[in-house]
Structure 1
Amino acid sequence: MDKTKLELRKQIEQAYYNAVGAKSRWDAAQKSVAASNEAYRFAEEKHDSGRANTYELTLAKNNQTQALGEEAQAKYEYAFRLKILELLKD
């Protein structure tokens, strides 16, 4: 193999591993969203029944919002990494 082909192969391999890592982060972020949704639901029930204060409810909502933001970021990072891989393979 000449040097150019070897370098391209290395770039494709790196792009593949980056895409795999991004997919793992997206999967983890989706689980985090599900957990934060459930935590917010519990906090809301506790707040409505008087067993939690507004601070606890707001904290749960902030955690939910943060998880949603991280999930969106991970999703688009994965799409970006797949596109890089696709471009390198063509």
Structure 2
Amino acid sequence: MFWDSFPNTGFSLALNDYEFSKPDSLVDTYNNFYVFRNVAPGRQYVHLKYGKGKYWSEPEHWEINVPEVLGASKQRRCFWIFCW
């Protein structure tokens, strides 16, 4: 995901299935892009706000539709020694 960037500005992002939620006030990136990984298929919402120090913008929201990848349900996921 890409957006317009401002110098010395942090961006806070959230990805979830709630249409209007707010990301927290912690900087996730200073770049004008971010990569979300392991996103579930279906309708998702990206929430972005930008700021410097203790001053943050109101969040902006985008709706995205993530297609289901064929065969993805047959992939095994493992965390440490636990697989499912």
TM-score range, shorter chain: under 0.3
User: Whose strand fraction is larger, Structure 1's or Structure 2's?
Assistant: 2
Normalised TM-score (structure 2): 0.19
User: Whose helix fraction is larger, Structure 1's or Structure 2's?
Assistant: 1
Bigger relative contact order, structure 1 or 2, given CA contacts below 8 A and separation 6+?
Answer: 1
